[in-house]
Structures are given as C-alpha cells and as structure tokens.
Amino acid sequence: MRSGQRQTSGRRTGKSARLHDRGDPGRLHIDAEALLVTAISLRSELSGITLPFSAPSTETSRHSAATAVQQLDDYIVPRLSSLDAPALAVIGGSTGAGKSTLVNSIIGADVTRPGVLRPTTTAPVLVHHPDVAAAFEGDRVLGGLARVSGSAATGPAELEIVASTTLSAGLAILDAPDIDSVVSQNRQLAGQLLEAADLWVFVTTAARYGDAVPWRFLRDAAARGVVLALVINRIPPGATAEVVAHFTEMLEAEGLHDAPLFAFEEQTLDDGRLPASEVDELGSWLEQVASDRAVRAEVVRRTLTGALGALSDRADEVATALADQQRISDALLASAAAPFNLARAQLSTEVRDGTVMRGEVMARWADLVGTGELLRQLQSKLGRWRDRVTAAVTGRPTESDRFQGALESGVETLVRARVAEAGC
C-alpha cells in the first residue's frame, strides 16, 4: 500500500504483552542429544510407511505420517540440533490482513511486498540479522525450500532471505502466505511454516476474526502449547473496545486467554508502513524474545515440548494404523490359505481311502495282479531287472510301469482338481 492509504492504528488491548517465564526459563529441561537420536530414527521409520490397505482411518493416518515427517524435517530435528539458534517468529494469518505491511513496519524497511491483489504473499520472506545468516541460508530450517535473495522468489517452493540490522541476532521473522489463500499450495505452505515456528504472530482483521480457518490454526496452537501473539487489524475507528472484548471472549473459550493481543485501528500509512510508534508494543514483545536468552530458551522449550507432544500423538495414530494394516494382512492371508488347507486335507483323505485307485488305476492294478507279474517282482530282484531289460529292448512297458503311470496320472488329476476348486 502507498502512503495515504488507510491502515490500522496500533494500540495494546490492556492485556499484558509480557512473556511470562515458567519454572526456570534459562534451562530447557530437555535431553536434546537423546531426543535427537530418537527423532531421526522415528523420521526414518515414518518415511518408509505406505499403509497399502484401505481402512476408514488409512488416509488420515497417511496424512499424519507425512505431516510428522515434515515437522521433524522443518522444526524438531533442526531445533534439537541447535537449541541456541535464533528463534523463528512466523507472521501468519488471513488473506488481506496486512501481514506484510506489519512486517515492514516492524523492520522499518520494505523487506516484503504488500499489495492489493490476492494472494499477495506467494513466496515466504525470512528476515534475520546479518550475523546469524548461516542459521538460515543452509538447509537446517525449511530445507525443502530453495533459498533466493534480492526479491527473486517467485513461488511457494522458494524462500527469500533478507538480512536486516533492525532485528536482534536472537530472532528471525518470516512473512508467510495466507492460511486461507485461494491457491492450495499457498495454504499448504502456510501450515508448514507455522509448524516450523518457535512462536506465532497470528494476524487477522475485524471483519475476519470469526472465520473458521483461522480458528482451526488457533485451536491447534492451543493444543500444542505454542507461544502465540495475536494481532487484530483493520478495526474501524472507535470500534476497538467492542471488537477486542468479543475477540477476547472467544480466545478465553479456546484456552488462549494468556496470549498477548495487539489491536490496530484503520489509519493513514506513512510511505506504505505504520509509524514506528504504532508498532512499538509488538516490536518490544518480539525484542524481548530476541534479546533475553532466558526468555528465548523458555519460548523454545514450550514450543518444542508442544511439538514433541503432537509428534507423539501422530506416531501413536500411525502405530494404530499399522496394527490395523497387520490385522487386514493376516485376515487376507488366512482367507487365501483356508481353501488350500482344506484341499490338502481332502487330498490326504482321498489318498488314504483309495479314491485315487478308481478307474484306470484299478484296471492297471487288476492287470498287474492277474498276470502274476506282481508276484514275480516280489519274489526276485533278478526278475524285475529282466523285465525292465526286456521292456527296454522291445519298447513295450511292463504292467508295473503301466500301473505306476496310471497311479501318478490319477494323483496328478486329483491334485489339479482340488487346487482348481481352492482357487475359485
């Protein structure tokens, strides 16, 4: 937006914007090394899961597995690998809420591109202090996004990196795409970025704060214990008290009453940005995270603990789905094996009760017994060898050979018949 356009006038709601420490904020109370080994192992297991059989919860479990792998890649493994790395604050929220304008106003420079077209932010922009560039230029954080600089990002597969001395080295700010963007890739990326955040600054407007999509994200934040600040933007002049009171009631009902809330009324922008005095409260809240190592450690601890809890829930869900898949596999195997087991039992019975001796086999048996050949073969090995030599010379099989052939043919026919029945 250009200078002269109307935006919002900043004021704090009266709710404390201070980050309250819980316990000993200087310590994470996390065995990061052991957790990192476990997280990497879990990531390997989850990435190999396919869940091939269809069941009522299969699709949901596949999504949970994919989401868990993504969160491990984007946040849990990187954060466990470097607990002292700068905290990442993601500025997210509804389309047209003024997120980019707010980021530019906090930084005091045009680091991201606000505008009137929707969606505006299609590629995320990450702003950090120059001294901590190494923490974000590699693939440690959001490794699936290609790094670009100089406003060269063109889409959700890229992450624009901007260095600014305005920020303290302990904090980076990321301007995310809209959570309710008309472009599905932008919506997915917005969710991914919020999962990768140490803290969220959630921006909505007086006209949109009751929408369903923002509340889905806010409920997820409450469930995970994510450190969260809320900005309600574009409030009509004079309506701040009424809007804030209603929004606060909604937040309390969802267990988010501790989250600091910043309200901004419509006002004229100064060169496309809010005056510094209007964003001082929010900037100070963020600066507290950036400059106070103990507070930053507490923020990381709370958010990481929540992320690990959510990961555990997802892993349990996938484990349940795997158990269901095993039961389906066992049932299918049993179903496939049952007719063949029955066929084998029938064959055993039919061989023992003489069924195989019917027809030609019985006729050959009669010939063998009637000619006395059987008795001669039983009486003398020499006779058997003589008969075989005679049969080889004359080319005519003996009665014994004919009986054996008929017996083998009868057994084969019976086996084929039972296998065919089992396969039907």
Domains and CATH numbers, the chain: 6-323 (3.40.50.300), 354-423 (no CATH)
pLDDT score for 152: 55
pLDDT at 360 over 90: no
Distances, alpha carbon 409 to alpha carbons 116, 135, 414, 423, in Å: 85, 77, 9, 21
CB neighbour list of residue 369: distance below 8 Å, 6 or more residues apart: none
Mean pLDDT of all residues in 163-186: 86
Mean pLDDT of all residues in 73-82: 90
Of 65-74, 267-276, 299-308, least confident by mean pLDDT is: 267-276
pLDDT at 254 over 90: no
pLDDT digits (tens, 9 = 90+) for 392-403: 555 566 556 665
pLDDT score for 17: 45
Task: Report whether 384 contacts 368 (CB < 8 A).
Answer: no
Mean residue pLDDT across the chain? 79
- Higher per-residue pLDDT: 147 or 102: 102
pLDDT at 309 over 80: yes
pLDDT score for 28: 47
Mean pLDDT of all residues in 384-391: 57
13 pLDDT band, cuts 50/70/90, is low
pLDDT score for 5: 44
- Higher per-residue pLDDT: 373 or 107: 107
pLDDT at 183 over 90: no
Q: Which two tokens stand for residue 142?
A: 């959001």
pLDDT digits (tens, 9 = 90+) for 25-35: 344 456 788 99
pLDDT at 126 over 80: yes
61 pLDDT band, cuts 50/70/90, is very high
pLDDT at 22 over 90: no
Mean pLDDT of all residues in 188-216: 87
Instruction: Supply the pTM of this predicted model.
Output: 0.71
